[in-house]
Structure 1
């Protein structure tokens, strides 16, 4: 796996358990360091090994201070703990290095040198030290590569970092093997040493299992949000939907007398339909294209006509959103009312001009029906003319296509087709 499951839910979960995990990981590394100290003291040892062990314990202490005092109002009394806490707070959620992480990483890479090159020939102390060094290295590697940063949706993960994460355990095991295998081991001992080095590969399983578990968090969270909206949308169906449909049918007979009122009703009805649409699709956004999708969904359900529309993504100027909602809804409604069995809508940007094509398999316009006075198409054409656009239609082999164009409201902010 070369990508971690970045999502708000996964980030929240890893952040919530970060303090507890940091403490448990620090305790694990302290046990590994204690095993190294015991083994180191049981045999003739080089003096420089104690410096590496001291660094290892220093890193554990700072990591433990981070876990214990993170989120607490009272600051730690020890100055070293305060330093560790300030360093950790400034790097949470991003790839910035902190003091405890740097010290522990350096210690983890140096500790395998002790059983290989700094201790005497006694096998069991060296084996105990080797196991302790492998445990410390595995714990540090796991802590780094299941950190909350890998799940932060706002963090930009470098491609090189993701590739490193997908094979980090093999790299850690290879580094440890390169450090310890060239040392003097008896023939029977060398296989055990290789096995201990290979045990570090289990870290990759830990990373993958964490990713696989958190991959299911985002869809589960979306499903829970959708379930939470169910009561609201059910109430909208029963208490508002019926009355809105009846009011719409009454006013539709008189829309020529007051087209502005009719247009306002369409907007209100579309907003309600958007709420109902989001109950089916929790990823739908209400700004764009949510309201329009709700309006088209209402037309599709009222006339039993499937409508296919793949809306372009933002950015959209607010004035262009309003035009798209009004024009596409009116043209889809007109096609559905006059015999279309299937409707497809395409919207694209060419230069500074939006072009909308509404295809349907209904009959062509009869003489006098195209843009009749005070009709819906006439209102659409007038609106488009105000936006320096036009409305036209043409016959096709399987029906007709109506083409609407209008000039963008903010040209410099909108992406061109193919960009």
Structure 2
């Protein structure tokens, strides 16, 4: 599954809510497995070096228990090492960062896996297989906790390709490495097959990761639907309370637009915002901010006039004056293209060294000379706005008149988008 499919707001928030509880229960499970291994080693009289791997694993699990307990509860641990590990872990929640507890537990993977096959040679196979089973459970728990961490569902955190590849195959990698360590030791024939089955069971970790991704990806559609329902509840009231008065005001303002064009354009900005808010109940990925609302308006305009719009815009922040002006310009250009009988129109907004350029290229009827910038017309008022911002408007048509392009440019308003972006 691609990262953009699994990573979404719902998945990330759900993972954040379960970080402490899920991590604590997983660490408690690992602690139980370590105790079983320790008890088995002590009872069978196995070599004391086995205690090294188990001790390292226990230290990591102790820190993991502490990290997750205090993440889920108020306060922080008093013990210095646990407090250091906790502060390290808290700073990395939801980010592509390692935890001290995870690093220590990872160091114990191979020593712990070697306890049964190599550290208990000559002892009963039942005891050896029990330690292999506990080590497999420990590794599976650690891998599962790592690769279903909240960071992998954070839409704002990209992961390198190598990590994504490892995540997509980690169950198979773990099974292969454990098989190399475990199955190379001396076993009876039956015990060898049992040990092989235990190593192969690590592949199931891959299934768990995949199904977690699938569950969160499926829940995304449900969350989007609930978002649309919530928007419709608001936009429905907005339409019933504002729609009719606004339509009446539109007719009145149209009669007086030649007398006070600035007031008329201000009204159009308000009316455009109203239409954009209504468009938000169509789809959940229409953003409240730029450029989602304009995109939704182009979709509605395209449906009304049977015209196919394409819209491209630059990345990065824009100051509010620039966004308002860009919306007013692009809305005008799109409406002119639609009313000229065009079947397709390419709307583009691009940055320049000191501002922006907006253009509309369509296959509609050409603009006649007597209509271009005629007194009292929409394009004439638009040109007036642009000149006030150090720009202007121009018209170009193809040699055969089949394609025309209207281009507007202006100098960035206020402090410009660069200052706004740096302050955000």
Distance 2:316 2:80 in 1: 50
The correspondence of residues 174-253 of structure 1 with structure 2, limited to 5 A, is 174-253=176-255
SS in 2 for 1:354: strand
The correspondence of residues 51-130 of structure 1 with structure 2, limited to 5 A, is 51-79=52-80, 81-119=82-120, 120-130=122-132
CA contact (8 A) 1:305 1:340 kept: no
Distance 1:196 1:84 in 2: 32
5+ long unaligned stretches in structure 1: 415-419
CA contact (8 A) 2:329 2:382 kept: yes
Deviation of 1:195 (Å): 1.2
SS in 1 for 2:264: helix
Deviation of 1:240 (Å): 0.8
The superposition leaves residues 170-228 of structure 1 with CA deviations (integer Å, 9 ceiling, x where unpaired) of: 11112211112221112332222211111111111111111111112333323222211
Which deviates more, 396-405 or 22-31?
Answer: 396-405
Aligned partner (choices 253, 256, 264) of residue 254 of structure 1 = 256
After superposition, the Cα gap between the structure-2 partners of 1:112 and 1:305, relative to the gap in structure 1 and judged at 3 Å, is closer
SS in 2 for 1:347: strand
Q: Tell me the TM-score normalized by structure 1.
A: 0.87
What's the counterpart of residue 3 of structure 2? 3
Distance 1:137 1:295 in 2: 53
5+ long unaligned stretches in structure 2: 420-424
Distance 2:399 2:234 in 1: 43
After superposition, the Cα gap between the structure-2 partners of 1:266 and 1:66, relative to the gap in structure 1 and judged at 3 Å, is same
Distance 1:167 1:42 in 2: 37
CA contact (8 A) 1:320 1:408 kept: no
What's the counterpart of residue 13 of structure 1? 14
Deviation of 1:31 (Å): 2.4
SS in 1 for 2:312: coil
Distance 1:209 1:174 in 2: 22
Aligned partner (choices 327, 330, 344) of residue 329 of structure 2 = 327
The correspondence of residues 265-304 of structure 1 with structure 2, limited to 5 A, is 265-293=267-295, 296=298, 304=305
What is the root-mean-square deviation in Å for CA atoms of aligned residues?
Answer: 2.9
The superposition leaves residues 137-181 of structure 1 with CA deviations (integer Å, 9 ceiling, x where unpaired) of: 111111111112212233231221111111111111122111122
What's the counterpart of residue 153 of structure 1? 155
After superposition, the Cα gap between the structure-2 partners of 1:181 and 1:261, relative to the gap in structure 1 and judged at 3 Å, is same
Deviation of 1:378 (Å): 1.7
What's the counterpart of residue 406 of structure 1? 409
After superposition, the Cα gap between the structure-2 partners of 1:89 and 1:71, relative to the gap in structure 1 and judged at 3 Å, is same
What's the counterpart of residue 314 of structure 1? 315
Deviation of 1:242 (Å): 1.7
After superposition, the Cα gap between the structure-2 partners of 1:290 and 1:89, relative to the gap in structure 1 and judged at 3 Å, is closer
Which deviates more, 178-187 or 286-295?
Answer: 286-295
Distance 2:358 2:418 in 1: 17
Which deviates more, 58-67 or 11-20?
Answer: 58-67
CA contact (8 A) 2:286 2:296 kept: no
SS in 2 for 1:157: coil
What's the counterpart of residue 388 of structure 1? 391
Distance 1:190 1:25 in 2: 28
CA contact (8 A) 1:277 1:293 kept: no
CA contact (8 A) 2:314 2:349 kept: no
CA contact (8 A) 2:314 2:350 kept: no
CA contact (8 A) 1:33 1:57 kept: yes
Distance 2:360 2:288 in 1: 23
CA contact (8 A) 2:225 2:284 kept: yes
Distance 2:12 2:57 in 1: 29
The superposition leaves residues 335-380 of structure 1 with CA deviations (integer Å, 9 ceiling, x where unpaired) of: 555x526452321538656251242534x44563332212222222
Distance 2:187 2:151 in 1: 40
Q: Tell me the TM-score normalized by structure 2.
A: 0.86
